[in-house]
Amino acid sequence: MPDDRHDPPHAASAAAASAPPPVPPRMSPPAQDRTGLGILLMSASALIFSMQDGFSRVLGAEYPPVLVVMIRYWVFAAFVIVLVSRQPGGLRRAVRTKRPLTQIARGVLLVLEVVVMVEAFVRLGLVETQAVFIAYPLLVAALSGPVLGEKVGWRRWAAIGIGFSGILVILQPGGGVMRIESLLPFLAAFMFALYGLLTRHVSRDDPSMVSFFWTGVAGAVAITLIGIWDWRWLAPVDWIWMAGLCICGMSSHYLMIRAYELAEASALQPFAYTQLVWASLIGVFVFGEVLRPSVVPGAMIVVLAGLFTLWRARVRSA
């Protein structure tokens, strides 16, 4: 957790938290096959996204998540504006959209998803949050029928069911391990999947540059309206953490954009899952998180199911 060009189904991350917006503007077509370099850049961006998640967890433990996300989005919006202004047509073209309400809804949905993810990082840690969040490609496949009217075959439905069984392995709802907070990353995955489907919807009328602009600006405006009421100055040392968060955010997005310029999304998606590995290493060795025995096999089930749905989507499009 869309069309390969306009909405590559990468992890997340958006991160998702981290999950990054899956609509990077494609600046120029690759002159030659440079898939290897694209994979390297995608792997590097996954590592930096994981570091970004670590910064988010540190700051989210001391300040309201909406405040952390608000400051981060101010910098991200500035990054988007600078990047888009350098494209053909500049900001004047980026502002023009045929679906303004949907574009605004996308931006608001994504920024709220980031807030939920930061809260999950604080309550659950990086490992379990990312292990559940990687289910978002399965949710994209499951929701593409009712939201976009697309046909989902029985093979992909089977993979979706198997993937969700992996989530149950992770959460262990009947083993006395599951807490209500465990639903936070699943909620974030649902929001990110819906955001991805709305992105595919607007890509029918708006180019990726327009969607990228509205993602950053609408999100920044929305989180400011919510988070400004929780404003407080960060401690001097925490501004260092915030600077690290923002630098990671800009550099990871830039590397991701460059990766999608050099290679197809279908070739890059498996390497986007390496974010789970990096997040787990950071969670265990930096934050002292405990890697429960059920997390690894459950996450493997989810990842394999997600890769299968991606493969089936490629077969159908071919």
The residue that leads in pLDDT, 264 or 115, is 115
The amino acid present at 27, given as its one-letter code, is M
Specify if 116 maps to a domain: yes
> In this structure, is residue 128 part of a structural domain?
yes
* Residue 8 belongs to a domain: no
Structurally, how many domains does the chain consist of?
Answer: 1
- Provide CB contacts within 8 A for 63, sequence distance 6+: 232, 234, 238
pTM of the model: 0.83
CA distance to 56, 121, 162, per residue, from 159 (Å): 32, 27, 5
Q: Are 8 and 260 in contact (CB under 8 A)?
A: yes
Residue of 135, 129, 136 whose CA lies nearest to 280: 129
Is residue 269 one of the residues assigned to a domain?
Answer: yes
Q: Are the C-beta atoms of 298 and 166 separated by less than 8 Å?
A: yes
**What pLDDT does 283 receive?**
92
Q: Is the pLDDT of residue 2 over 60?
A: no
- Among 44-53, 139-148, 223-232, 239-248, the minimum mean pLDDT is found in 139-148
In a domain, residue 5? The reply is no
Is 3 a domain residue? no
Closest by alpha carbon to 35, among 224, 250, 264? Answer: 264
- Geometric angle at alpha carbon 18, from 5 and 261, rounded to 5°: 25
236-262 vs 35-60: helix axis angle to the nearest 10? 160
- pLDDT on residue 32: 56
In a domain, 2, yes or no: no
Structural domain span for residue 19 = 13-317
State what percent of residues in the chain have pLDDT above 70. 86
pLDDT computed for residue 26 by the predictor: 52
pLDDT at 73 > cutoff 90: yes
- C-alpha to C-alpha distances, 302 to 24, 99, 134, 159, 196, nearest whole angstrom: 25, 34, 7, 9, 18
Q: What is the dihedral of CA 160, 166, 170, 175, to 10 degrees?
A: 110
Q: How far is CA 170 from the centre of its chain?
A: 20
Average pLDDT over residues 146-169: 80
Give dist(CA 164, CA 43) in Å, integer: 26
For residue 167, is pLDDT > 80? yes
**Residue 54 structure tokens:** 């670590």
Q: How far apart are CA 2 and CA 273, in angstroms?
A: 17
Percent of the chain residues past pLDDT 90, beyond the cut:
37
Q: How confident is the model at residue 318 (pLDDT cuts 50, 70, 90)?
A: low
Assigned domain for 86 exists: yes
Mean pLDDT over all residues of the chain? 83
Residue reference for tokens 């938290």: 17
